[in-house]
Amino acid sequence: MVSLIGRDEEIRQALEVLEELPAGQPSVLVIEGPAGSGRSRLLAEIAVRARDRGWRTVGEAGWITADRARRLLQRARREPGPMLLTCDHPHRVEPGAWPALDRLAETVPVLVMVTGRIEADPLAADHLLGAETHHIRLPPLTPAEVAALVASELGGLPGDGLLTLCRVAAGRPGALSDLLTGLREEEMLRVEDARIGLTATRLPRRTEARLRRQVAALSPAARHLVQAATALRGRFPLARLARLMRSGLVSLLPPLDEVIAAGLLDGDTELLAFRHELVRTAVEATMPRPVVAALRGEQPRTGPRRSHPPAAPPRRGGLRDLTVLSVREREIAELAGQALTNQQIAGRLNRSPHTVNYHLRQIFQKLGISSRVELAGLTGRGHAGTRPGGA
């Protein structure tokens, strides 16, 4: 189990909610945080602290169905006492359980404690009407807390190289524990000069898989942004990324916030960077090779022009970069690259606009792109105007 480090304030807040619980109605406490932030671990710790204070704690298996909630109500009438009901999967709660909890709160103090993503309500709006709701948000661990957690998990002082690699976890204890587990599994740790270092600077396979899942879970706009950012090395201003993406700065702010919240990029609108070079490499691996090659060829030029000629751009107009597509998809990609609308493409191919739109979405997914402008760049046809559904 992950050592509970850096969560003293959040535990204090939760215990304060327990102590000030109003009578006559259930209360809700939501522990919020991104994946890997330690929500489940904190939920379990607060349940232990509540039991130490005389609360009866009931895990989700004991109350999330209507039948079990009614049994809990009958038990409370026989054995009164405050109850803490925990749930790490609130979407599994049956609607019929809530009326029983309302009646339960009329008998004993009741706190329903669940986990959830930041700014996403884990409970349906019509559940527990009138319930007082509290939120505890889990921030990233500080560098000092990360170092303390690593030392606790590994039983020794971490070296600078290991702590630098731990930036991949974005200060999230669950993600950090996953990284350390992977390093142990693949025997990538060694003790040198009384400190724990690395035998190789790479990511464990399980961490690479976690990063791929994070990229896949992003919205299309956020995924496009972070994938485009792999073409830029070191720290870079948002304006440079906007030029690369041929996009306005304002339109990039929402997906940028999402990518930063996911822990992939670090910084602000002034200067951005991947949390570690290996994060950039892992994100790059989520794209087809032709797209990676195209991105590398489209980096905005900065500074004085070089005296030696730049690398030759990809061959224009050829289908060499579109080999991941089927014959029909290549045909549609070429026509879309000529700025034809879905209606015009459908007329040429004797297909419906709906079929054309479906193929375009498949093309975009296979190539890891999200606009016809990018598709036109890959086919060498100049600029096109809209997304797949454009008329």
Same domain, 22 and 131: yes
Question: Which helix H or strand E contains 112, and what residues bound it?
Answer: strand 110-116
Here the CATH number for the domain that contains residue 43 is: 3.40.50.300
Q: Is the dihedral of CA 123, 125, 129, 134 positive or negative?
A: positive
- Beta carbons of 235 and 200 less than 8 angstroms apart: no
End residue of a domain, out of 137, 161, 178:
137
Same domain, 132 and 193: no
Same domain, 101 and 21: yes
180 vs 165: CA distance, rounded Å: 10
Establish if 311 belongs to a structural domain: no
Candidates 131, 140, 125, 139; CA nearest to 113 is 131
pLDDT along the chain (391 residues), means of 10: 80 92 83 91 94 93 91 86 91 87 87 82 56 88 95 93 95 94 95 91 94 92 94 91 90 92 85 94 90 71 47 39 78 83 85 82 81 74 50 51
C-alpha count within 13 angstroms, C-beta hemisphere, residue 134: 18
Q: 94-114 burial, b if ≥16 CB within 10 A, otherwise e?
A: eeebbebbbbbbeebbbbbbb
Q: Which position has the token pair 């200067």?
A: 271
Q: Which residues pair with 247 in a beta bridge?
A: none
End residue of a domain, out of 86, 115, 137:
137
Inter-helix orientation angle 372-379/289-297, to 10°? 90
Same domain, 66 and 91: yes
Model pLDDT, residue 269: 64
Q: Coil, strand, or helix at residue 58?
A: strand
Same domain, 123 and 16: yes
Model pLDDT, residue 120: 60
Establish if 315 belongs to a structural domain: no
Question: Token pair of 317, please?
Answer: 């107009």
Question: Which helix H or strand E contains 238, and what residues bound it?
Answer: helix 238-245
Model pLDDT, residue 300: 53
Q: Which position has the token pair 């720290």?
A: 235
Q: Report the side by side order of strands in the sheet with 83-87.
A: 56-58, 83-87, 110-116, 27-32, 132-137
CA-CA-CA-CA dihedral for 150, 156, 160, 162, to nearest 10: -50
Same domain, 43 and 107: yes
Same domain, 126 and 172: no
Question: Which helix H or strand E contains 99, and what residues bound it?
Answer: helix 97-105
CA angle 63, 19, 125 (to 5 degrees): 45
Establish if 288 belongs to a structural domain: yes
Establish if 13 belongs to a structural domain: yes
Inter-helix orientation angle 353-367/327-337, to 10°? 100
Same domain, 197 and 235: no
Establish if 389 belongs to a structural domain: no
Question: Which helix H or strand E contains 28, and what residues bound it?
Answer: strand 27-32
End residue of a domain, out of 182, 202, 222:
202
Write down the number of H helices and E strands in the chain: 17, 10
Establish if 391 belongs to a structural domain: no
Q: What is the DSSP string of 324-382?
A: TS-HHHHHHHHHHHTT--HHHHHHHHT--HHHHHHHHHHHHHHHT--SHHHHHHHHT--
- Beta carbons of 312 and 304 less than 8 angstroms apart: no
Same domain, 79 and 37: yes
Establish if 387 belongs to a structural domain: no
Establish if 18 belongs to a structural domain: yes
pTM: 0.68
Which domain covers residue 369, as residue numbers?
A: 320-379
Same domain, 291 and 363: no
Q: Coil, strand, or helix at residue 280?
A: helix
Amino acid identity of 184? R
29 vs 323: CA distance, rounded Å: 52
- Beta carbons of 338 and 375 less than 8 angstroms apart: no
Model pLDDT, residue 312: 39
Here the CATH number for the domain that contains residue 343 is: 1.10.10.10
Same domain, 105 and 35: yes
**Longest CA pairwise span in the chain (Å):** 87
Here the CATH number for the domain that contains residue 249 is: 1.10.10
Looking at the structure of the chain, the number of domains it has is 4
Beta strands in 244-341 (DSSP E): 265-267, 272-274
Q: Which position has the token pair 């479906």?
A: 358
Same domain, 252 and 369: no
Model pLDDT, residue 124: 54
Model pLDDT, residue 263: 92
